[in-house]
């Protein structure tokens, strides 16, 4: 295997933004998650909870509500007063319509999916009709005195419950007038000075309205008479979110202390018909406020200020007790935010609004296995490049020689040239971008840094020639069918002949760069691609899918390699398939063609194709190099997957040269240290 010197990098100050809203779509089993910086991410829950698509954020967009309407249409509304519809095929925003009510606090789609209700700052509730290509304002309901913070439709579509500050109103949809106004008790820990904010309401089909408020209560109201039926005091802090299951026999609430409570409708005695709502399970998976919850048929989904997305399958709903029933916590991004220039040992970090360029430190000391070597030269922060405008950066890349930096926002593409002279760095922007190049989903430089490959969000793949300080458009590959879906990933071979692009549902396309035409297509798989790379000499394309399968495809021969077929027949070890996080980067050793280096957030692995494959009974995670163990033990435990869990959580891992690795870690404590303050909890003995 050889010894490697590993650069452990911990100066990537990555802090994800807090989760603000979550919306679950039943038909497609997809989850839309919106964050406080305006990013909306779509997770495919059936594809191993992989983040399929995302819409980049915007500084002025503070989303407060997210909902799915019929026909897989996604709407969001925010504090800038606009209702935004997202185009899931083209991955951009279809349109933004101003609701003229001030900042929008809440939004709900009708049970039939054809109408949209919006609650605004000035107390008005507005009804919009969803037409095939746009939404149209229909009418206003009775205006209330204070801001409408939560909305809920009755499943029959006849009534609406709106939660505001200190009261809840029930509207009749046909007439638009208030039927009942229910006053919420302000009492908070015995003091009634602070206003009681009703953070969430839910309307059940039997006329019960459930409200959660900032005094820590969950209350059940009867909408026919407008009276309080039952009140549960469940927390010492705000209860901030509520979600009801489709069958209306259970609902989930999230509190500001990070606890998620599950309420279920259970019969009073074992054979009586009468049922009542009982608080059954508390879950403490968050440390900060849980601002949003969702209830899918089999699991509870919660997200909040501590930036984790937690999906907790309910044990009673799960049929088979296998790995599918485990808790999933999504913390780290499912795509690469770091690019590396191997020759100059530079790392480019992508943040929401700026890029940072660092040069790795160096050491002259040597040591044995497991030693930490002192640095003779510290890591250098070379460049802090701030983006112009309020939009977030979608993707960025640095060329392998380190002289070009390219990044893209939702509306512009930027290309910079770097000049190094005796430790000095100078940056020059290449102006005059072509008009057709607006926003890119993925950017990649060729190995010799003469070509730039850009996957634009219209589906086309552009190739540019870079020379000196200028660049020229060579060719554009148009998409086959006219639709573009999912994340687009690019991989280029070391000799610059082949370009692989994933993203269309038809599989991975491989293009011949010299002849500028499509070479072949890797057959489509029913899970999305998470990482791709082309091996240097053999030109084998290695693809990792979100269900943790790894395939190897030979580009010149246009078929899967023998090793790949063997692996598929043999099957992967069950521990390999049970990993939580997707593989985000694949790289190769220049001198050892039998090695594939890949990593996910909690491990990195070197697959040695010459060694035998493990079956389910073998010890999968090898102990730390057993050089002094007997030959027999070594033979028994030697298999192709060499896994190391020393460096975690890993954001990026790459081979710089034959004997050096770079591992960018992001400890969870460092992220927590930069989050907003949590609620104070009194613990016994402190």
Chain contacts with another protein (rule: CB under 8 A): 60, 62, 79-81, 98, 100, 102-103, 105, 121, 147, 193-194, 197, 214, 236-238, 256, 287, 289, 669, 672-681, 683, 685-686
Count CB atoms within 10 A of the CB of residue 18.
19
Answer yes or no: are the C-beta atoms of 656 and 342 closer than 8 Å: yes
CB 278 within 8 A of CB 264: yes
Q: Which is nearer to another protein, 201 or 256 (CB)?
A: 256
**Of 105 and 464, CB closest to another protein:** 105
What residues does 421 pair with on adjacent strands?
424
Beta carbons within 8 Å of 368's beta carbon, 6+ residues apart: none
Rounded to 5°, angle at Cα 326 from 311 and 675: 45
Smaller CB distance to another protein: residue 121 or 142? 121
CA distances from 35 to 13, 54, 90, 189, 328 (A): 18, 11, 20, 31, 19
Q: Nearer to another protein by C-beta: 122 or 222?
A: 122
Find tokens 């993925």 and name the residue: 442
Q: What's the token pair of residue 86?
A: 């997202």
Task: Give the residue with the Cβ less far from another protein, 412 or 579.
Answer: 412
CA distance 230 to 221: 7
Question: What is the spatial distance between Cα 550 and Cα 668, in angstroms, rounded to a whole number?
Answer: 28
In the complex with another protein, the residue whose CB is nearer, 305 or 399, is 305
How far apart (Å, rounded) are the C-alpha atoms in residues 47 and 545? 9
CA–CA gap between residue 164 and residue 170 (Å, rounded): 11
Closer by beta carbon to another protein, 211 or else 403:
211
Q: How many residues does the chain have?
A: 686
Rounded-to-integer distance, Cα 219 and Cα 227, Å: 11
* CA 572 vs CA 523, 538, 567, 640: distances in Å: 20, 23, 7, 11
Nearest approach, Cβ of residue 114 and another protein (Å): 25
Least Å distance between CB 676 and another protein? 7
Question: CB of 261: closest distance to another protein in angstroms?
Answer: 19
Q: How far is the CB of 410 from another protein (least distance, A)?
A: 16
Smallest distance from another protein to CB 315, Å: 27
Nearer to another protein, 124 or 298 (CB): 124
Q: How far apart are alpha carbons 396 and 392 in whole angstroms?
A: 11
Residue 680 beta carbon to another protein: minimum distance, rounded to whole angstroms:
4
Which CB, 214 or 341, lies closer to another protein?
Answer: 214
Nearest distance in Å: CB 78, another protein: 9
Q: Put the strands of the sheet holding 404-409 in their side by side order.
A: 393-398, 404-409, 413-421, 424-429
* Cα–Cα distance measured from residue 576 to residue 641, given in angstroms and rounded to the nearest whole number: 9
Tell me how far, at minimum, the Cβ of 98 lies from another protein, in Å: 6
Separation between Cα atoms, residue 566 and residue 568, nearest integer Å:
5
DSSP tag of 58? B
Contacts of 175 (CB under 8 A, 6+ apart): none
Considering the complex, what minimum distance in angstroms separates the CB of residue 120 from another protein?
Answer: 10
The CA distance from 217 to 523, in Å, is 54
Q: How far is the CB of 105 from another protein (least distance, A)?
A: 8
Question: How far, in Å, CA of 575 to CA of 572, rounded?
Answer: 8
Render 348-408 in DSSP notation, one character per residue.
EEE-SSEEEEEE--B------TTPPPPPSB--EEEEEEEPSSSBPEEEEEE-TTS-EEEEE
Least CB distance to another protein at residue 54 (A): 24
Taking the least distance from each CB to another protein, the nearer of 490 and 671 is 671
Q: Cβ of residue 218: shortest distance to another protein, in angstroms?
A: 18
Nearer to another protein, 6 or 215 (CB): 215
In the complex, what is the shortest distance from the CB of residue 289 to another protein, in angstroms, rounded to a whole number? 7
Nearest approach in angstroms of CB 673 to another protein is 6
Q: Give the residue with the Cβ less far from another protein, 271 or 686.
A: 686
My answer on whether omega of the bond before 172 falls inside 30° of 0, hence cis, is no
In the numeric block, which tokens belong to residue 363?
Answer: 């050491």
The residue among 514 and 680 lying less far from another protein, judged by its C-beta, is 680
Q: For 523-578, where are the E strands, in sequence order?
A: 529-534, 540-545, 550-554, 559-560
Q: What is the pairing mode between strands 217-222 and 227-233?
A: antiparallel
List Cβ neighbours of 489 (8 Å cut-off, separation of 6 or more): 442, 501, 502, 503, 529, 531, 532
Which residue number, 80 or 546, has a Cβ lying nearer to another protein?
A: 80
Give me the least distance between CB of 686 and another protein, in Å please: 5
Question: Is 519 exposed, middle or buried, given 0-12, 13-18 or 19+ CB atoms closer than 10 A?
Answer: middle
Residue 56 or 81 having the CB closest to another protein: 81
Task: Write out the two tokens for 43.
Answer: 């997770």
Contact 326, 652 (CB under 8 A): no
CB of 304 to another protein, least distance (A): 11
Nearer to another protein, 102 or 479 (CB): 102
């Amino acid at each position: 295997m050889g010894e490697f010197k590993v650069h452990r990098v911990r100066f990537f100050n990555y802090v994800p933004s807090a989760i603000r809203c979550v919306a679950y779509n039943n038909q497609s089993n997809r989850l839309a998650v919106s964050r406080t910086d305006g990013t909306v991410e779509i997770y495919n829950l059936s594809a191993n909870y992989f983040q399929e698509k995302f819409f980049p954020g915007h500084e002025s967009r503070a989303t407060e509500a997210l909902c799915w309407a019929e026909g897989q249409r996604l709407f969001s509304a925010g504090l800038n007063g606009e209702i935004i519809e997202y185009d899931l095929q083209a991955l951009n925003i279809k349109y933004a319509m101003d609701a003229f009510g001030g900042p929008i606090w809440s939004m709900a789609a009708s049970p039939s999916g054809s109408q949209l209700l919006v609650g605004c700052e000035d107390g008005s509730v507005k009804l919009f009709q969803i037409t095939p290509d746009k939404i149209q304002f229909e009418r206003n309901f009775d205006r209330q005195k204070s801001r409408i913070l939560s909305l809920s439709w009755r499943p029959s579509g006849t009534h609406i419950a709106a939660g505001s500050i200190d009261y809840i109103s029930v509207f009749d949809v046909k007439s638009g007038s208030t039927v009942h106004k229910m006053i919420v008790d302000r009492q908070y820990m015995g003091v009634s000075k602070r206003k009681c904010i009703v953070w969430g309401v839910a309307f059940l089909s039997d006329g019960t309205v459930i409200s959660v408020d900032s005094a820590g209560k969950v209350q059940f109201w009867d909408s026919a008479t407008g009276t309080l039926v039952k009140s549960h005091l469940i927390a010492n802090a705000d209860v901030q979110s509520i979600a009801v299951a489709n069958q209306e026999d259970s609902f989930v609430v999230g509190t500001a202390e990070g606890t998620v409570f599950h309420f279920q409708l259970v019969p009073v005695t074992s054979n009586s018909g009468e049922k009542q709502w009982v608080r059954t399970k508390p879950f403490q998976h968050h440390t900060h406020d849980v601002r949003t919850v969702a209830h899918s048929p089999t699991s509870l989904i919660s997200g909040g200020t501590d930036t984790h997305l937690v999906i907790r399958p309910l044990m009673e709903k799960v049929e088979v007790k296998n790995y599918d029933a485990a808790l999933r916590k999504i913390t780290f991004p499912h795509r690469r935010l770091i690019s590396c220039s191997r020759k100059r040992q530079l790392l480019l970090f992508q943040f929401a609004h700026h890029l940072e360029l660092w040069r790795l430190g160096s050491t002259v000391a040597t040591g044995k296995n497991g030693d930490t070597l002192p640095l003779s030269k510290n890591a250098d922060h070379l460049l802090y490049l701030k983006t112009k405008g309020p939009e977030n950066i979608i993707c960025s890349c640095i060329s392998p020689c380190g002289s070009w930096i390219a990044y893209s926002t939702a509306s512009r593409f930027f290309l910079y040239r770097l000049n190094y002279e005796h430790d000095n760095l100078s940056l020059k922007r290449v102006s005059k971008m072509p008009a057709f190049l607006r926003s890119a989903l993925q950017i990649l430089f060729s190995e010799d840094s003469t070509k730039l490959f850009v996957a634009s969000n219209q589906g086309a793949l552009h190739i540019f020639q870079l020379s000196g300080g200028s660049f020229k458009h060579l060719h554009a590959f148009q998409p086959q069918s006219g639709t573009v879906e999912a994340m687009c990933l690019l991989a280029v071979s070391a000799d610059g002949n082949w370009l692989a692009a994933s993203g269309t549902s038809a599989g991975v396309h491989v293009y011949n760069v010299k002849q500028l035409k499509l070479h072949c297509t890797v057959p489509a798989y029913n899970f999305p691609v998470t990482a791709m790379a082309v091996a240097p000499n053999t030109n084998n394309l290695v693809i990792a899918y979100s269900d943790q399968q790894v395939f190897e495809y030979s580009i010149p021969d246009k078929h899967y390699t023998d090793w790949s077929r063997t692996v598929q027949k043999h099957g992967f070890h069950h521990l390999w398939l049970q990993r939580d996080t997707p593989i985000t980067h694949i790289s190769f050793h220049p001198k050892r063609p039998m090695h594939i280096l890949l990593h996910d957030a909690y491990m990195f692995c070197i697959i040695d194709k010459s060694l035998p494959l493990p079956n389910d009974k073998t010890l999968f995670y090898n102990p730390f190099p057993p050089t002094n163990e007997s030959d027999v033990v070594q033979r028994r435990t030697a298999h192709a997957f060499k896994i190391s869990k020393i460096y975690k959580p890993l954001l990026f891992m790459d081979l710089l040269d034959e004997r050096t690795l770079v591992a960018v870690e992001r400890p969870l404590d460092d992220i927590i240290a930069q989050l907003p303050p949590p609620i104070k909890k009194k613990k016994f003995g402190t």
